[in-house]
Amino acid sequence: MAMYSRIIGTGSYLPEKILTNLDLESMVDTSDEWIQTRTGIKQRHIAAPDQMASDLALAASRNAIQAAGIQASDIDLVIVATTTPDMIFPSTACILQNKLGIVSSPAFDVQAVCSGFIYALATADMFVSTGKSRNALVVGSEVYSRIMDWNDRSTCVLFGDGAGAVVLTRDQKPGILSSHLHADGSYSQVLSAPASIHSGKIQGTPFITMEGGTVFKFAVKVLEEAALEALQANDLQPSDIDWLIPHQANIRIITSTAKKLGIPEEKVVATVAQHGNTSAASVPLALDQAVRDGRIQPDQNVVLEGVGGGFTWGSVLVRW
Ligand code: UT7
């Protein structure tokens, strides 16, 4: 009998501190009007100096585990998607596993930048649906405030911190119906934090650098393609999508994608105004919001999709 992995709990966490566009006006040469018209962002959350990606992940994970109605000890796989890990090693997933008091489950990080959660969810699905794992914890957690140049107005207004998590369990009932992942490393210079460590010293710039226009065009193109690929694999039409939850980078990217797919605005979950771009955390944060406010209901088709540095992109189609 075919077995599926099913999301049985979602959770999220946003740091207390809110940085508004007005706050940014006093930091760089920008305006609330420019940020809102070009990106749709009104505010973003910023982690406290002592909060690391694993701390945000821990709070989101506890919410998801509670919603799933299981114990942390029932988790037998931990995957964290992050571009802003606590340290070079061990992985943030291992640090999170320890903070949750779990021992001996596999734990590892996935690095696919803003597509990280989609990559992590697709990976966990393969462990769970094949019976390798029973209950997987999949988290997207980011502290982009640490890798932003706060003097660079072209990037520092765009990102925020946060974490989202889901618990997947093995079930006869679907579940994740499909996942599709892609990458094209020839775009690696277009969006990067191109630093490395040599003999204890940072070489290159450790801040986000980006060709915004190129990223914008690519994102709109592949978010449409990824959604169509997911629909085709399941013999579904755009009208069969109950909820589209794309990566939250820019409201203009989100609305262009929905328009190209012919999906009405009411079926698109958008959190970018409140959260900014939280990279690997953006999709699970938006998912948790739509689950908790009752928008997502049983048996609905939910398309999750991401795009980000690499470039990487992909989709997961979920029957809720
Ligand atoms: O998760 C993936 C990560 N990245 C993205 O998703 C970003 C994708 N790209 C975008 O969202 C958009 O390209 C941006 C929001 C980054 C930029 O919007 P745009 O409409 O493509 O603007 P632009 O880059 O063409 O810049 C227009 C102008 C420039 O001035 P000039 O050269 O026309 O005089 C910029 O210098 O806006 C200026 N500008 C700003 N002005 C005020 C750039 N940043 C700012 C700012 N405030 N924060």
Q: Determine which residue's CA is closest to atom 8 belonging to ligand 1.
A: 216
CA distances from 203 to 11, 94, 167, 189, 195 (A): 37, 27, 38, 16, 5
Amino acid 2: pLDDT: 79
In the predicted structure, residue 1 carries a pLDDT above the cut 80: no
Query: What gap in Å lies between CA 243 and CA 173, rounded to an integer?
Result: 19
Collapse the DSSP code of 183 into the 3-class scheme (helix H, G, I; strand E, B; otherwise coil) and give the result. strand
For residue 141, the CA-to-ligand 1 centroid distance in Å is: 25
**Per-residue pLDDT averaged across 306-313, rounded?**
98
- Identify the active-site residue in 63, 114, 275, 301: 114
Instruction: Please give the mean pLDDT across all residues of the chain.
Output: 97
Q: Which domains does the chain have, with CATH numbers?
A: 4-173 (3.40.47.10), 177-319 (3.40.47.10)
Annotated active-site residue 301? The verdict is: no
* 153, two tokens: 């107005």
99 lines ligand 1 (CB under 6 A): no
In the predicted structure, residue 110 carries a pLDDT above the cut 90: yes
In the predicted structure, residue 59 carries a pLDDT above the cut 90: yes
Q: What is the pLDDT of residues 134-188, one digit of tens each?
A: 999 999 999 999 999 999 999 999 999 999 999 999 999 999 999 999 999 999 9
Query: What gap in Å lies between CA 14 and CA 56, rounded to an integer?
Result: 7
Q: What is the pLDDT of residues 94-107, one digit of tens each?
A: 999 999 999 989 99
* 317, two tokens: 């189609």
114 lines ligand 1 (CB under 6 A): yes
**Per-residue pLDDT averaged across 63-76, rounded?**
98
**Which element (helix H / strand E) includes 93?**
helix 92-99
Q: What is the pLDDT of residues 20-35, one digit of tens each?
A: 999 999 999 999 999 9
For residue 115, the CA-to-ligand 1 centroid distance in Å is: 21
Name the band, by pLDDT with cuts 50, 70 and 90, for residue 124: very high
